[in-house]
Structure 1
């Protein structure tokens, strides 16, 4: 009888612990979504600051290399895109900013517009230029969110905004 009581007690304790762990998992997407939004906004607004600097001390490729909020795949694709454009059109290059996917951009920065948990896309819009929108593709690695696509970089035609 004592063994049965002990077994029953352990079963109840185990079930309660399992339920509390499940509750933590259910809350996780909301928290990671918030973290993804913060990372996306931080990156795009740092990029605006970089672009607003009329005499940047470093090239875009070097600046991107220093960014810990983007994936290595993003860094490689940006460099590949720039090199290909420079090779095809040495004087013109890409003809637009590869991250903004445009020649102009909201100089006062961006704010969140919407996010899509199912696709890890976060849509941002200019703070004072509401019609200027970008999708930012996020990826979760080792519990941390990273930018993996924006503008011309790692984005399908359907994920980009028409200008």
Structure 2
């Protein structure tokens, strides 16, 4: 009888240990799953932050390119001596796309053919005869369309849209004023 009792006791103890081991194993598995989920969430957050930084960097690069282009052009127009003509200035500018250069040339040729004395009669980049004396500042940037909105640094009322595209791995101006821009995007005074 004592042998039977010992045997029952051993079976009971062994089965209790197995249950405890199963409980420990389940808890350990749950902890491992939680750790893996935390690691995955951390990787997702790192990717999200990296993507946001990339978008911000690209947006900053695009905005700087647009602002430099229009403000450098305005400075050129301000020069009394040494001013470069619009076509020559755009042709020599590394931030102007090939398409912008060719479209400007086409616009100017057509205008000069139509009116040899006055040509276009206004500046095709500003789409106006006048422009802000103090230059332009950034209003906003639409990442989907690649259009940067700029306006007069001092006064309200002279807003422009500048379209940028990626050409040979670099952001360049592809549309401004009446060049490669739909009428709905032309200057709004």
- TM-score range relative to shorter protein: 0.7 to 0.9
RCO (CA 8 Å, sep 6+): is it higher in 1 or 2? 1
Once superposed, what is the RMSD of the aligned Cα atoms? 2.1
The 3-state SS of whatever aligns with 1:158 is helix
The 3-state SS of whatever aligns with 2:130 is coil
Partner of 2:105: 79
Alpha-carbon separation, structure 1, partners of 2:49 and 2:134: 40
How far 1:114 moved relative to its partner? Answer: 1.5
Gapped regions of structure 2 (runs ≥ 5):
1-35
Does 2:153 align with 1:153?
Answer: no
Aligned with 1:130 (options 156, 160, 166): 156
Which 4+ residue blocks in structure 1 deviate beyond 4 angstroms? 18-23
Gapped regions of structure 1 (runs ≥ 5):
1-11
Length-normalised TM-score, structure 1: 0.82
Greater helix fraction, Structure 1 or Structure 2: 2
CA deviations 1:96-142 (Å, max 9, x no partner) are 10000001100111001121111111110011222101000011234
Alpha-carbon separation, structure 2, partners of 1:150 and 1:69: 12
Does 2:123 align with 1:97?
Answer: yes
Partner of 2:19: none
Alpha-carbon separation, structure 1, partners of 2:118 and 2:48: 55
Larger Rg: 2
Alpha-carbon separation, structure 2, partners of 1:130 and 1:79: 31
Q: Are the equivalent residues in 1 in contact too, given 2:124–2:177 (CA < 8 A)?
A: yes
Deviates more, 1:19-28 or 1:64-73: 19-28
Report the CA distance shift for 1:52/1:137 in structure 2 as closer, same or farther (over 3 A).
Answer: same
